[in-house]
């Protein structure tokens, strides 16, 4: 018996020795964290709130903050599943505090804006304003809704209030859009530069760079546009919108094949309706078949209706009746200048030039230096036989941005030639 024990001891000792030696030899290696080897793109943005709510699930304020954070996540990641989560979180917050829950109300407003339900967003913001009159986010939600509903003056006031409460990225970027729509390009640029200086989080930096690039592109400054897009891509080399900007510059500079290649990659990666639509137009401009892209686009609008975008797409593929029907439907909901422009164009395509002109006038009334608006208005004027005016307007459009549209910019030059 004792012998057995002794043998066991020897064997065990040897085994232990081997273990010790191996552990000694491996401990020289750089300490690798145990277990943590999964590479997960963590969403730390919201994880602090998630953790907190797992501990204290009845915290109405934390639920509201989480809901708003999810709306931001959706914006940043483009992942619409966050909308559902945002709704759930905000509903939960309101369940825990049904009355006087200003932060949840702000969140609901932001969510409604994100879902393009601007009237509801305005209502939420108004209710939140009563509860939290000194909170900047209230006016951000309000400004977004009012802008899209076409209430420009009220929107400006809301942005001003937001600026005076909290000058920062959210208010500066909204100020830039407000100024741009009123034709103050220098002001818009200054506002975006201030936003860009204040931006800390990389999605915010990327957003500011893209907007600065767009502002430059929309006013014909390809070099500046490319520089801005590139600075954004230095922060996030795979950002879809910045790459879209670069592709537009490529096209404008005549690298049609490269631009098409970039777009085809982009629509494969993220088939956003906007990108698919632009790709279809680029294919048209290059003399290639856009039909498959338009087919995809049509199904997308069937899955997620967007009457404004659908109207413009219908007009681009030659379906004038649908374009008009959709534009009128959108106009019934909101009277933003972009809707006025789409309605004007759709009316024109249906031969109703007089009516078209009144909406085209409305589109440019605020002073937005938007080349597409001017081109549409010029063509409508020409259809009404007011050639001299038309030539001036189209010329102005091309002066603002000679590359304002893959398809329409060359056409504008033709129209201009014909008018002279």
Partner 1 sequence: MRVLGLLLLGLLLFPAQAEAHPLGNFTVNHYHGITVHPDRVTVRAVVDTAEIPTLQERPAEVGDYASRECAVLSRATSVEVDGRAVPVEVRSSAVEFPPGDGGLPTTRLTCVVEAWASGETVAVRAGYRDDRVGWREMTAVGDGVALLDPPVPGVSVTGELREYPDDLLSDPLDVRSVVLRVGAGSSAAVVGGEVGGSSPPGGSSLPGGSSLPGGSSLPGGSSLLGAATQAFTSLAGDRDLTPLVGVLAVVLSLVLGASHAALPGHGKTVIAAYLAGRAGTPRDALVVGATVTLTHTAGVLALGLLISATSAVAGDSVLRWLGVVSGVLVTAVGVTLLRASVRRPVLVGHGHGHGHGHAHGHGVGRTGLIGMGVAGGLVPSPSALVVLLGAVALGRTWFGVVLVLGYGLGMAATLTAVGLLLVRLRDRLAAVERLRDRFTALPVITAALVVVVGVGLAVRAAWGW
Partner 2 sequence: MSTPLTSRRAAKVVAALAAVGATALATGLLGASGAGASSHREAPLIAGDPAVDNTDVYAFVSPDHPDTVTLIANFSPFQEPNGGPNFYPWATDARYDLNVDNDGDARADITYRFTFQNDDRRGKSTFLYNNGEVTSLDDENLLFRQTYTLELVDQRGASTKLVHKGKVAPSNTGPKSMPDYRALRDQAVTKVQGGAKAYVGQADDSFFLDLRVFDLLYGGDLSEVGQDTLRGFNANTIALQVPKAWVALKGDAKRNPVIGVWGDTERRSMELSPGRYRAHGDWVQVSRLGNPLVNEVVVPAGLKDKFNSLTPDQDAKVKELVDRVTNPELPALVEGIYRIPAPKGRRDDLVEIFLTGITTELGGPIKADLNSQVVNADVDKRKFVPSEQLRLNMAVAPAAEPNRLGVLAQDNQGFPNGRRLTDDVLDIGLQALEGAAVNGVVEALAAGDKVDANENAFEKQFPYVALPNNTAVNAGGAEVAIKPTAGGGVPTAPLLSGLLALLLIGAGAWVLRHRAQQEPPTE
Instruction: Give the nearer residue to partner 1 in terms of CB position, either 207 or 331.
Output: 207
- Report how far residue 256's alpha carbon sits from residue 279's, in angstroms, rounded to the nearest whole number: 12
Stretch that binds partner 2, among 255-263, 272-280, 355-363, 408-416 (CB under 8 A): 272-280
Which residues from 92-151 bind partner 1, rule CB under 8 A?
92
Site string for partner 2, 89-108 (x = CB under 8 A): --------x----xx-----
Under rule CB under 8 A, residue 404 binds partner 2: no
Which residues from 25-84 bind partner 1, rule CB under 8 A?
34-41, 43, 46-47, 50, 53-54, 66, 73, 77-81, 84
Under rule CB under 8 A, residue 237 binds partner 1: no
* Cα distance from N-terminal residue to C-terminal residue, the chain: 116
- Report how far residue 98's alpha carbon sits from residue 100's, in angstroms, rounded to the nearest whole number: 7
Residue 407 contact, options partner 2, partner 1, none, Cβ 5-8 Å cut-off depending on partner type: none
Among 291, 295, 251, residue whose Cα is nearest residue 406: 251
Q: Out of 48, 119, 295, 388, which residue is the one contacting partner 1 (CB under 8 A)? A: 295
Q: Out of 95, 288, 299, 399, which residue is the one contacting partner 1 (CB under 8 A)? A: 299
Least distance in angstroms from the C-beta of 38 to partner 2: 7
How far apart, in Å, are the Cα atoms of 410 and each of 48, 221, 267, 388?
52, 17, 24, 19
Under rule CB under 8 A, residue 365 binds partner 1: no
Under rule CB under 8 A, residue 261 binds partner 1: no
Site string for partner 2, 303-322 (x = CB under 8 A): -xxx-xx-------------
Least distance in angstroms from the C-beta of 326 to partner 2: 12
Q: Out of 87, 120, 126, 131, which residue is the one contacting partner 2 (CB under 8 A)? A: 131
Across 44-77, b (16+ Cβ under 10 Å) vs e yields ebbeebeeebeeeeebbebbbbbbbbbbbbbebe
240: number of Cβ within 10 Å = 18
Q: Please, are residues 377 and 394 in contact by the beta-carbon 8 Å criterion?
A: no
Least distance in angstroms from the C-beta of 299 to partner 1: 6
Phi-psi bin for 62: left (phi > 0), alpha (psi -120 to 50), beta?
alpha
DSSP conformational letter for 317: T
- Report how far residue 214's alpha carbon sits from residue 228's, in angstroms, rounded to the nearest whole number: 9
Mark out the alpha helices in 115-237 (DSSP H runs).
118-131, 136-149, 152-165, 169-181, 185-198, 202-218, 222-235
Q: Out of 85, 211, 219, 376, which residue is the one contacting partner 2 (CB under 8 A)? A: 211
Q: Which residues bind partner 1 (CB under 8 A)?
A: 1, 5, 8, 11-12, 14-16, 18-19, 22-23, 34-41, 43, 46-47, 50, 53-54, 66, 73, 77-81, 84-85, 88-89, 92, 238, 267-272, 292, 295-296, 299-300, 302-304
């Amino acid at each position: 018996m004792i012998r057995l024990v002794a043998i066991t001891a020897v064997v065990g000792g040897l085994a232990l020795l081997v273990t010790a030696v191996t552990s000694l030899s491996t401990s020289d290696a750089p300490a690798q964290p145990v277990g943590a080897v999964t590479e997960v793109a963590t969403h730390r943005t919201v994880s602090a709130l998630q953790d907190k709510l797992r501990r204290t699930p009845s915290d109405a304020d934390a639920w509201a903050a989480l809901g708003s954070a999810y709306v931001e996540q959706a914006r940043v990641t483009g992942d619409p599943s966050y909308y559902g989560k945002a709704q759930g979180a905000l509903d939960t917050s309101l369940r825990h505090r049904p009355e006087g829950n200003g932060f949840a109300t702000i969140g609901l407003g932001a969510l409604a804006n994100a879902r393009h339900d601007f009237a509801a967003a305005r209502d939420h913001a108004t209710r939140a304003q009563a509860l939290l009159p000194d909170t900047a986010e209230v006016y951000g939600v309000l400004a977004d809704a009012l802008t899209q509903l076409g209430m420009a003056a009220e929107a400006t006031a809301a942005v001003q209030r937001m600026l005076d409460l909290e000058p920062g990225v959210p208010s500066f970027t909204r100020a830039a859009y407000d100024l741009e729509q009123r034709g103050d390009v220098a002001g818009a640029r200054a506002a975006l530069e201030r936003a860009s200086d204040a931006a800390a989080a990389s999605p915010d930096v990327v957003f500011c760079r893209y907007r600065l690039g767009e502002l430059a592109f929309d006013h014909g400054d390809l070099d500046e546009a490319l520089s801005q897009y590139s600075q954004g891509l230095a922060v996030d080399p795979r950002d879809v919108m910045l790459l879209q900007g670069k592709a537009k510059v490529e096209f404008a500079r005549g690298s049609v094949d490269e631009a098409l290649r970039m777009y085809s990659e982009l629509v494969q990666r993220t088939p956003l309706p906007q990108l698919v639509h632009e790709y279809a137009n680029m294919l048209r401009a290059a003399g290639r078949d856009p039909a498959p892209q338009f087919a995809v686009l049509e199904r997308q609008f069937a899955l997620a209706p967007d009457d404004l975008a659908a109207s413009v797409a219908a007009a681009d593929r030659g379906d004038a009746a649908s374009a008009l029907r959709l534009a009128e439907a959108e106009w019934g909901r909101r009277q933003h200048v972009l809707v006025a422009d789409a309605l004007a164009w759709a009316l024109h395509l249906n031969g109703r030039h007089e009516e078209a002109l009144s909406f085209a006038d409305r589109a440019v009334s605020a002073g937005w230096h938007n080349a597409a608006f001017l081109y549409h208005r010029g063509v409508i004027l020409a259809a009404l036989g007011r050639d001299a005016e038309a030539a001036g307007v189209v010329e102005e459009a091309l002066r603002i941005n000679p590359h304002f549209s893959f398809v329409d910019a060359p056409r504008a030059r033709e129209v201009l030639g014909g008018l002279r």
